[in-house]
Chain A
Amino acid sequence: MSIQVENIRKSFGAFTALHDISLDVPTNQLVGLLGPSGSGKTTLLRIIAGLERADGGRVLFNNEDVTHLDARRRRVGFVFQQYALFRHLTVADNIAFGLRLLPRAERPSRRDIRDRVRELLSLVQLDNLAGRYPAQLSGGQKQRVALARALALKPEVLLLDEPFGALDAKVRKDLRRWLRRLHEQISVTSIFVTHDQEEAMEVSDKVVVMSQGRVEQMGSPLQVYEQPASRFVFDFLGHINSLEGLYDGHNWRSGDAFLRLDTQGACPDGALTLYLRPHEAELAAAPTEAAHLPVRVAGRSVFGGTVTVELEPQGWGAEVLEVELDRVRWDALQPDRQPALYLLPRRLQTVTCDGDLGPQVAPA
């Protein structure tokens, strides 16, 4: 079932939570709503579910207007951030809840309900916990029960509000891979809300980046990362280093440092900020003709195959820079024996003085 959101607006008193949001989610896609807290993503999800009424705009399921349809008739599966399991019911009864409420004509027999519960429990890999109460489950188990419960009525739309928000890092990672696989098994159109960019990137077919009640960009995870539409998107997706300096049409300078950049006239002379992603740079013992950025190593942390290095600019800039380097190359460089080190950016994002994103450039 496809989901369309058209020009949705919502305010709470004087605070505008959503400004004119439009979205298009094709059938069976898994879309991540990504944004910092307060960006309106949960409000949007609740409006799609029917738990919140929009001030204007429409919500359509399969091109059918459901804006004024009651939440109980929308037939969406919803997973709450804090699970919202019925604390007085067992796991099995939680999952069977929706099935037992069906009108008599549609309600499966007792045995069918039992079979369906068992099937769902095995889908979420909790076969032997049917008789437990929510208070006796771990966070990850609760989350999977909540998901099984949301899927019990075979919804064609599944909405998840920060589904892994309250779990620890390891469980999060397992669960989100599992969600991805599950989504491939069953045919359901899903939207999930998250503030974790890694999660959104890994799980979604499409990412919708939101900020202050507006959609900043919508696209595949790769697209959003490689071609950010705004400074906010670039900023929000991963750590960035900001290099400030002056540009004269050929060279960018800051103190002792310079970069030869050909922006093909896209950047005017004057102040020019460059954004550098931590993994888009190398470290070398000597500068090149196009890049002269002397640095000193201020700290390092090794994790797996990557070394995260903190660099202090020498004679330019002020802020400590963070770059991620391949560990083999880092070791080969023997940084402790080098009298001086130079940062060699592979790709830089230009930001013009009015704050817009310019072209992405490489020193040459």
Chain B
Amino acid sequence: MPRYAHQWLLIAAAFATVILMLVLPLLLILHQAFAHGLAPVMEALTSNDMGHAIRLTVVVALITVPVNLVFGILLAWCVTRFEFRGRKLLTTLIDIPFAMSPVVAGLCYLVVYGSQGLLGGWLADIDVQLMFALPGMVMVTIFVSCPYVARVLIPLMQSQGPEEEEAAVLMGASGWQVFWYVTLPKIRWALLYGVILTNARAVGEFGAVSVVSGLIRGETLTLPLLIQMLHEDYNTVGAFTAAGLLAAMALVTLLLKTVLEWRQRV
């Protein structure tokens, strides 16, 4: 327990900051959304644009999360179970999406896959459109959220060491059996944690998706993009309803994460 006034002061300052910077804005979102009662909110929620944006957001997350789940496990396995030249470089490269602004990532994809881009001409020839469509949005979302699973798993698998896997191999387990019966049970909570983080990022991504989506209403608008669009249209209730929805998703994720952290400790 803090014993001096200045210690209490510091704690009070921390609480004030959290309330002022985090909680209050969240509450204001809800307040704004419900400013004119429940009816406009329901109307906004049932509008076509909103329905489409929710579906699109979920589809993007549903593709992104499994891809990054597999990618993250493979990467963590590779980095922690084998010694090879360039291992350190690889672990550094994983962090590129963390270090880079998402907008830059979106632009990079545009430069490579867009119609004026490096592969754009060839892609157009075989009639494949990646940019300004779902594939491109999924690609950039995968890019920006790919480090989470690996980043959660690598330190854990490093600390657990390879002995249990080696013991399983010596008892006749195949690679797949080792993974299924030994590795996966050891990392399952951390893995779930990684998935939750990936999901949160995938659902909330704005910058990169905004660049490659082309912002086509009713076609390539995810929830974050829709919020921006509605806000620019002075559709306050719509914007804040969508924002409230997204915030609620985030809170559920946060709750899940807390539960998992508690489970991991037990």
Residues of A in contact with B (beta carbons under 8 Å apart): 49-51, 71-78, 80, 82, 84-88, 97-98, 101-102, 149, 152-153
**Would you give the shortest CB distance from A89 to chain B, in whole angstroms?**
8
**Stretch from B116-124, B170-178, B246-254 forming part of the interface with A:** B170-178
Q: How far is the CB of A68 from chain B (nearest CB, A)?
A: 16
A60 to B173, CA, bound (A): 22
The complex places the Cα of A80 from the Cα of B169 at a distance, in Å, of 13
Contact in complex: A87, B170 (CB < 8 Å): no
Q: Given contacts A102-B172, A153-B172, are A88 and B167 in contact (CB under 8 A)? A: no
Indicate whether B166 reaches chain A with its CB closer than 8 angstroms.
yes
* Complex partner residue of B166 from A51, A77, A101, CB under 8 angstroms: A51
Q: Does B163 contact A (CB under 8 A)?
A: yes
State whether B170 touches A49 (Cβ < 8 A). Answer: yes
> For residues 139 through 196 of chain B, which have their beta carbon under 8 Å from a beta carbon of chain A?
161, 163-164, 166-174, 177, 181-182, 185-186
**Which residues of chain A have C-beta atoms less than 8 A from B170's C-beta?**
49-51, 71-72, 74, 76-78
Given A80-B167, A86-B164, also A101-B185 (CB < 8 A)? no
- Closest chain B residue to A82 by CB distance? B163
Contact A72 B172, CB 8 Å, known A80-B163, A82-B163? yes
Contact residues in A for B166 (Cβ distance below 8 Å): 51, 71, 78, 80, 84
Instruction: Find the A residue at minimum CB distance from B167.
Output: A84
Contact B182 A98, beta carbon cutoff 8 Å: no
A78, A102, A153: which contacts B167 (Cβ < 8 A)? A78
Indicate if the CB atoms of A98 and B172 lie closer than 8 Å.
yes
The residues of A that contact B185 with a CB separation of less than 8 Å are: 86, 88
In the complex with contacts A86-B182, A87-B186, A101-B171 CB distance below 8 A: yes
Shortest Cβ distance from residue A12 to the other chain B in the assembled complex, whole angstroms: 9
Interface residues of B (CB under 8 A from A): 161, 163-164, 166-174, 177, 181-182, 185-186
**Chain B's nearest CB lies how many Å from the CB of A204?**
22
Specify the chain B residue showing the minimal Cβ separation from A146.
B167
B107 to chain A, nearest CB (A): 41
Say how far A193's CB is from chain B's closest CB, in angstroms.
Answer: 15
Identify which of A71, A72, A87, A153 gathers the most chain B CB atoms within 10 Å of its CB: A72
A94-B172 Cα distance, complex, nearest whole Å: 14
A-B contact pairs, 22 of them (CB 8 A): A51-B166, A71-B166, A71-B169, A72-B170, A72-B171, A72-B174, A77-B170, A78-B167, A78-B170, A82-B163, A84-B163, A85-B164, A86-B164, A86-B167, A86-B185, A97-B168, A98-B171, A98-B172, A101-B171, A101-B173, A149-B167, A153-B171
Task: Kindly state the separation between the CA atoms of A85 and B166 in the bound complex, as whole angstroms.
Answer: 11
B164/A84 in contact, CB under 8 A: yes
A78-B170, A84-B163 are known; give 19 further A-B pairs, CB within 8 A.
A49-B170, A51-B166, A71-B166, A71-B169, A71-B170, A74-B170, A78-B166, A80-B163, A80-B166, A82-B161, A84-B166, A84-B167, A86-B164, A86-B168, A87-B164, A97-B168, A97-B171, A101-B171, A102-B172
Chain B residues with Cβ below 8 Å from A86 are: 164, 167-168, 182, 185
- Cα A50 to Cα B172 in complex, Å, equals 12
Q: Is the CB of B172 within 8 A of A101?
A: yes
- Bound complex: CA A73 to CA B173 (Å): 9
Q: Shortest Cβ distance from B152 into chain A, in angstroms?
A: 18
User: Contacts of A101 on B, CB cut-off 8 Å?
Assistant: 171-173, 177, 181
Q: How far is the CB of A201 from chain B (nearest CB, A)?
A: 28
Bound complex: CA of A73 vs CA of B171, how far in Å? 9
What separation, in Å, do the CA atoms of A78 and B170 have in the docked complex? 7
Query: Given the complex, which residues of B lie within 8 Å of A97, measured CB to CB?
Result: 168, 171, 181
CB distance from A319 to the nearest CB of B (A): 42
**A102: which B residues are within 8 A, CB to CB?**
172
Bound Cα distance A51, B168 (Å): 11
The residue of chain A having its C-beta at the shortest distance from the C-beta of B188 within the complex is: A88
Determine how close the nearest CB of chain A comes to the CB of B173; give it in whole angstroms: 5
Q: Give the shortest distance, in Å, between B242 (CB) and chain A (any CB).
A: 42
Once bound together, how far apart are the Cα atoms of A97 and B169, in whole Å? 11
Complex contacts, B169 vs chain A, CB 8 Å = 51, 71-72
**Partner of B186 from A71, A72, A88, A98 at Cβ < 8 Å:** A88
